[in-house]
Each structure stands twice: as structure tokens, then as C-alpha cells.
């Protein structure tokens, strides 16, 4: 995982759940650090997050 020589490891996370379980809401909360109103997702929803804090 992580690139050779990097201090922070890379992590890949998969969110699985039933319909209307809040997967997209959690993804947007992690990415934008705000609660946003989402519409039901019809297709696959992917996103890349880069976090500077590790705590």
C-alpha cells in the first residue's frame, strides 16, 4: 500500500450497505467535512480523498 519512501500509508476503503443506508452521505461528510443533502445514487459512486490529518 503506500508509495515507496512515503511516510503515510495509503488506504483503500469500500463502503457496502443497503439502499438508503447513508453511504453517499458518509462519503460527502469525509470529503467536504459538511452535511449535504444527497439524492438516491443510481450508479456506482466513487471518490478519491486526500486527508492531511491522521488523527
User: For 3-55, what is each residue's pLDDT tens digit?
Assistant: 566 677 777 888 888 888 888 888 888 888 888 787 887 777 778 877 776 55
Query: Which residues participate in the annotated binding site for Mg(2+)?
Result: 24, 41
pLDDT at 19: 84
Alpha-carbon distance of 30 to 12, in angstroms, equals 14
CA 37 to chain centre: 16
Binding residues are 17-24, 41
- Binding-site positions for GTP: 17-24
Cα 15 from Cα 18, distance rounded (Å): 10
Amino acid at each position: 500500500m503506500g508509495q515507496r519512501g512515503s511516510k503515510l500509508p495509503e488506504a483503500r476503503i469500500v463502503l457496502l450497505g443497503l439502499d438508503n443506508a447513508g453511504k453517499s452521505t458518509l462519503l460527502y461528510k469525509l470529503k467536504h467535512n459538511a452535511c449535504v443533502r444527497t439524492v438516491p445514487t443510481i450508479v456506482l459512486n466513487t471518490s478519491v480523498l486526500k486527508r492531511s490529518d491522521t488523527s
